[in-house]
A = this chain, B = another copy of it.
Amino acid sequence: MTDFNGEILVVGDGGWGTALACLVAANGRSAVIWSYDPDYAALMQRSRSNPKFLPGVELPPAVAVTSDPGRAFARAALVVFAVPTKYARSVLDRLAPAYNGAPVLSASKGIEPDSLLTNSALVRERWSPPAIAVVSGPSHAEEVARGKPTTVVVAGPDTGFIAAVQRLLSNDRFRAYTNPDTVGVEIAGALKNVIAIAAGISDGMDLGDNAKSALITRGLAEMRRLGVAMGAIPDTFAGLAGMGDLITTCISPFGRNRRVGLELGRGRKLSDILASMEMVAEGITTTRAAVRLAERHRVEMPICYEVHRVLFEDKPPRRALLDLMTRSLKSELEDAGGER
């Protein structure tokens, strides 16, 4: 309990950040959630809940909510940065004057489409924290908040820091494992949202579990290809932050990215789908980044490319998935241990 002397500050009022605040509170720590929206912060503080992003979960007394940067950082011993990639840079810059130099745990999954920075790299660039780690794994916020057994990976270069984060988060229902492979964990965490859109499209077209499993399998193969080209450890992709998180994201009814794909597969337009969603489907932004990274590192990523065409080039999902099934399966020949 002496690892972080002070409060745990969660930056961002989303479901995952809120679940992590509840988790550290359950572990005996005080937490404060910072929301950019004063009205919503007040509503959360008053109602002891996060009705938009984590409905039905009561905030424990040890969790406070504020929109005041000064209050947020006043006693912060660790910053959990849980802001969608889309807003990450502006939030980091807005909070920079108040940032107190505490170490940072990045809890968002995504890649900034212009800079191609992962969230931890972006935090490092904007805040230069003394230590930084990322948390990832099969961990739907709704299940974590309801005390369902969950396992995650905490990755970072500083072994002392990631061990301290591991102790902070772990309890008998939530287990954190450490991994030195930040790049692999972040690439896997970001790209799985793109594959989840593809899996959702397959579900929306009612193609069945055989096709969906093939898509998930091929999806992990292309995630690993890119990760390894960027310096990741291949086995990270066979672990909880790779395969584990990908499966949860592709099968869970909670998944926002899968749901976007599902509606696309049923024939709805992206703009209509987005207009009806409160939450950010991170995979939409990540798809742009994935395609640019694939080009930069000269890696074949047929699923990411087809999702890009559906999202941004008006390609009919049916056509994309047909092309995908054919092409991506052809490419299995080259990289999967002797299959041809």
| Residues of chain A whose beta carbon lies under 8 Å from any beta carbon of chain B | 137-140, 143-144, 146, 148-151, 153, 175, 177-181, 184, 207-214, 216-217, 220-221, 233-236, 238-240, 243-245, 247-248, 251-252, 254, 325, 329, 332-333, 336-340
Contacts and interface: CB of A to CB of B under 8 A. Distances in A.
Contacts of A338: 179-181, 233, 235-236
Contacts of A329: 151, 175, 177
B333 A209 contact: no
| Residue of A138, A175, A178, A247 contacting most chain B CB atoms (<10 Å) | A247
Contact of A210 (B139, B235, B336): B139
Contacts of A137: 214
Given A143-B208, A238-B220, A214 B151 contact: yes
A144 B248 contact: no
A210 B248 contact: yes
A177 B332 contact: yes
Given A149-B207, A177-B333, 15 more contacts: A137-B214, A138-B213, A138-B217, A140-B209, A149-B208, A149-B214, A150-B210, A150-B211, A209-B251, A214-B240, A217-B243, A220-B238, A233-B337, A235-B337, A251-B251
A20 to B, nearest CB: 14
27 contacts: A138-B210, A138-B214, A138-B217, A143-B208, A149-B211, A150-B208, A150-B214, A151-B325, A153-B339, A177-B329, A180-B338, A181-B338, A212-B248, A213-B240, A213-B244, A213-B245, A213-B251, A217-B244, A220-B238, A220-B243, A234-B337, A235-B337, A235-B338, A236-B336, A236-B339, A238-B337, A240-B332
B239 A336 contact: yes
Contacts of A213: 138, 240, 243-245, 247-248, 251
